[in-house]
Amino acid sequence: MPEGPEVKRLAQRLGKVLVGKPLSSVAFSYKTLGSYDQELSSSEIELVDSRGKALLIRFECGKTIYSHNQLYGKWIVTRAGVEPKTGRTKRLVIRTPQHRAALYSASEIEVLDTSALLDHSFLRKLGPDALSEETHWREVAARLMESNFKNRSLGALLLDQSFVAGLGNYLRTEILHESCLHPDLRPKDLSQREIGKLARTILEITRLALKTAGVTNKPSRVKRLKRVGATRSRYRFSAFAREGQACYRCEEKIERLSVNSRRLYLCRICQPGRSRNAGGHS
């Protein structure tokens, strides 16, 4: 499933070809949404943005298309008149004189009143967006110690969109590895210094992934690895998908675990487990 940085980059790409452009047509494959085709085709797209892992396309007429790719959804952008070869099921096509933007295989698509977005069942439950400039690390640190979150394992918490929106599986591994924290630890087990470092790392790693198209390894390390001919799959992550390879910090082998039914990678030396009540908050 695409994580926050990938959805934000998609929003930026769609925005470049759709925002402020004359629309040739907007066409849904869902019969229940087809009644909006004419209204939206006669309007103009004002903004394409993301909220966590949801994509929002806002129209001048006061409507917003909400979509969530889940596991299989995918947008494909081509030049006008070009029909991509794909076995995916077409859900939505937006055409301008220059481009064709189509959403395939997504299971969640809705047309909402823009004024009522905050009442949407998914959007209203989201925590602060890790990619929003308005989200400060101190807000994240404070949330870590809220009653809803402080007793939960970090391995579970970092996948919960109500905690911080936009995080996902590869980000979870990279954030915990950079913070030197074991996934079994809870916020209440951490010192104030660890809470602060974790909060800052959540934002820094997620924003780095946006800037670099998903590369979360340290920029200086990436540069060094590129110099010796490393491929993107080798330099992209510091821990994720590196099972059996040496930790960049201590050279211990990276291990793969299953945490909350999702794969997670860690270094046992850099991310030791410890008593849940040792040195933490009460």
Name the catalytic one among 53, 100, 143, 242: 53
Counting beta carbons within 10 angstroms of the beta carbon of residue 90, is it exposed (0 to 12), middle (13 to 18) or buried (19 or more)? middle
51 is an active site residue: no
- Closest by CA to 143, choosing from 215, 207, 80, 199, is 199
- Give φ, ψ of 151 to 5 degrees: -100, 5
CA proximity to 53, closest of 118, 102, 7, 105: 7
Q: Among this protein's residues, is 110 annotated catalytic?
A: no
Q: Which of 2, 5, 128, 183 is catalytic?
A: 2
Q: What do you get for the CA distance between the two ends of the chain, in Å?
A: 36
Annotated active-site residue in 3, 6, 178, 194: 3
Candidates 256, 262, 263, 268; catalytic one: 262
Cα separation, 245 vs 111, in Å, equals 46
Answer yes or no: 60 catalytic: no
User: Is position 83 annotated as part of the catalytic site?
Assistant: no
Please give the positions annotated as active site.
Answer: 2-3, 53, 262
